[in-house]
Chains A and B, each alone.
Chain A
């Protein structure tokens, strides 16, 4: 019956139409036509701005200084010799390194705890990954509300627990403000580590553990001999992705400390934002972005090479 129906429809359809030369050409290059919009979009939205920004970093493009004269390396020089820029780069490395390390350890611990099934696991997992879906601005605001004196409850709760008045300036006093920023970041992004590492853990064949158990291997030895080697590519992947994101830390700092006190919580992103959008020195900010991009690329290359090496092995 289906064959009859097909024949009937074929008769009704008549002979295939003759294709024009354009249609012929279009048909032969159909795959290129399909990808053309995406390629053009990428060129327009990525390559052009990138090239334009490169040009801007060598000219005067400043909303306070008229004209667009060629200034050579002056914009780069301003960034390199700006102590605030150097500090912001160092702080970026420190904050992102510490945050990601803590997130990794916590994420791995939670993933190991959650890898086996138990009643309510689904609910617990859902709750655990909620912070991942919250905008960093909201996270910053929430932590500000918790920590900011005199309205935030943190000091009050700590005071009640310790039995004495607590007057910590969580957002203005060193080292507490750095701890606050790390805590906010860890709270939001530990679930990211957890999700990736859990996926890695579940892909390790259980028979390896069974065999190890039969051989009398204890849990600690199994962790180092089986879990870590098998999980290593996922670990590196999670660390790479998270580190790339962490070095762009901006939102929580913008909300929680405003970069202060002084310039003590300026990260590279915050520095570039301030130079570009508070002071309107756009070409200096662009030059700084390129320098920052180079630093980031070095880190990424290192990590990706390492990742590929692990995967090949």
Chain B
């Protein structure tokens, strides 16, 4: 230490002593307090977590009034889980899961309404029955895929149960993110319950001969229309006079545009013939194009795995969609799914096709839950009819519950999945007013309790079943989201005035780039696997395969 450093040091020391005597902070007290503060911060995280866990644990399972159909369904689910029948999947799952009491299962869920069921109903009920806790991790829809993959790469074991779109199954299975369920099913499940799935949904989680998930959401599109308008004598007469045909829910896409235009011509600006969710990024474009394109005989890929979008079927599909847009409510191309619901529920639109919650909202059933009060009250309750979408409706996404390959408690996780998707428990779940999970089991479609939810619930269920009989699946293969994005860009460009044929060619080019990036041969193999599924094309729907379900 040289003289200057010594002087500085001693001056600092003297200053420190002076500060100490004045009762001010010294370096020592600063370090001590800094250490205390850091320690407190480190401790506050776990403490906060413990407090949150405690607060969540206080939340009892949210049960409905036992005199209502929902309350009865929930009671039945509880009884089937705790008393049997002993060979039921719900009872067997609960009995086997009791040994895992105290385990916490981390399960992903799409953020928002989708997460309310595991948070408020099935999660707390599972804990009550088995002592297994559930931690619902809410994620944005694309993150349900990306986070699952990222956590798998990091081998974090962050998740036990994954909510995944069926289209992701091949990627997740081949990537080792999820594990096959065949052995668990053989060990724990009553296999008869697998036969309770509608045939469109039964094979959905199957890939390369193995089962990779338990299907959990029947997202089939259906047509919802205003019966009072379609039965209005003046309109019926005018339609007959103009087209020499009966005014009824359309059976073809040409009829659809024609009927929509007729209603708009007759009733606008009070009511418009149709509405669609066509906003960019809103998934309506991709689903609508896929259902119409395939109903028009279009093939997504040719034998060499080249995109076959730029075909006559493609042009015809876009032309039909443009005609429908022109016949629709002003701002049709700016609507997302929720805005479209608002337009329909407030009586501004005579026809929409969308996901199954449309019917429950139209009947004002969903709005009985506070969580879904952002949807307007239905002004058309009791006036809504149900029909199959012209041609073939799209099964737009849906969900599988999949078992994470990195789960530390795979048996407990599978048992929770089995219990949640078992016939009695899944029925209670799809009946929740805030549920975005839609009927998918035959026992759901045949349920008297569900049929009692609102006056036209029986017809609603029958229509969902009929729609599934002729429904088409989203392509289940790697790159599906890239293909979807290309379709969405193509459609919105066409709505803005781009040439349909040129737009189809651009989308086809993007399809080919995606295929090349992922490997032509491997994509070809994936596509071939997909084509084996009922509902992969308009030529092999459940109905055409002779598997149609009659209720």
Interface residues of A (CB under 8 A from B): 6, 9-10, 13, 16, 27-28, 30, 63-66, 148-152, 167, 169, 171-174, 254, 257-264, 274, 277-281
Whether the Cβ atoms of B334 and A171 lie closer than 8 Å is yes
A151-B342, A264-B493 given; 14 more Cβ-contact pairs under 8 Å: A10-B17, A13-B20, A13-B21, A16-B13, A30-B27, A169-B333, A260-B489, A260-B493, A262-B490, A262-B492, A262-B503, A277-B143, A279-B482, A280-B146
Q: A10-B21, A150-B343 are in contact. Are A260 and B485 (CB under 8 A)?
A: no
Whether the Cβ atoms of A150 and B331 lie closer than 8 Å is yes
Whether the Cβ atoms of A277 and B142 lie closer than 8 Å is yes
Whether the Cβ atoms of A262 and B498 lie closer than 8 Å is yes
Whether the Cβ atoms of A63 and B21 lie closer than 8 Å is no
Q: B390 to nearest A CB, angstroms?
A: 24
Which secondary structure dominates where chain A touches chain B? loop
Q: A278-B481, A279-B481 are in contact. Are A260 and B330 (CB under 8 A)?
A: no
Pairs of residues from A and B, 6 with the lowest C-beta to C-beta distance, nearest first: A260-B280, A149-B331, A258-B281, A262-B493, A261-B496, A258-B280
State which residues 159-180 of B face A: CB under 8 Å: 171, 174-175
Which one of B20, B281, B498 has the greatest number of beta carbons of chain A within 10 Å? Answer: B281
Whether the Cβ atoms of A278 and B142 lie closer than 8 Å is yes
Q: B518 at the A/B interface (Cβ < 8 Å)?
A: yes
Whether the Cβ atoms of A150 and B282 lie closer than 8 Å is no
Q: A229 to nearest B CB, angstroms?
A: 45
Q: B387 to nearest A CB, angstroms?
A: 24
> Which A residues lie within 8 Å of B478 (CB)?
64
Q: How far is the CA of A152 from the CA of B330 in the complex (A)?
A: 11
Q: B294 at the A/B interface (Cβ < 8 Å)?
A: no
Q: B434 at the A/B interface (Cβ < 8 Å)?
A: no
State which residues 10-69 of B face A: CB under 8 Å: 13, 17, 20-22, 27
> Which B residues lie within 8 Å of A277 (CB)?
142-143, 146
Q: How far is the CA of A257 from the CA of B518 in the complex (A)?
A: 29
> Which A residues lie within 8 Å of B146 (CB)?
63, 277, 280
> Which A residues lie within 8 Å of B143 (CB)?
277
Interface residues of B (CB under 8 A from A): 9, 13, 17, 20-22, 27, 142-143, 145-146, 149-150, 171, 174-175, 279-282, 329-331, 333-334, 339, 342-343, 348, 478-479, 481-482, 485, 488-490, 492-493, 495-496, 498, 503, 517-519
Whether the Cβ atoms of B145 and A260 lie closer than 8 Å is no
Whether the Cβ atoms of A65 and B517 lie closer than 8 Å is yes
Whether the Cβ atoms of B479 and A64 lie closer than 8 Å is yes
Q: How far is the CA of A149 from the CA of B495 in the complex (A)?
A: 15
> Which B residues lie within 8 Å of A279 (CB)?
481-482, 485
Whether the Cβ atoms of B339 and A260 lie closer than 8 Å is no
> Which A residues lie within 8 Å of B9 (CB)?
27-28
Q: A148-B334, A167-B330, A274-B485 are in contact. Are A264 and B496 (CB under 8 A)?
A: yes
Whether the Cβ atoms of A149 and B145 lie closer than 8 Å is no
> Which A residues lie within 8 Å of B479 (CB)?
64
User: Which residue of chain A lies nearest to B149 when distances are taken between CB atoms in the complex?
Assistant: A63
Q: A38 to nearest B CB, angstroms?
A: 13
> Which B residues lie within 8 Å of A148 (CB)?
331, 334, 339
Query: Which residue in B142, B175, B495 is a CB contact (below 8 Å) of A172?
Result: B495
Query: Which residue in B174, B329, B495, B496 is a CB contact (below 8 Å) of A150?
Result: B329
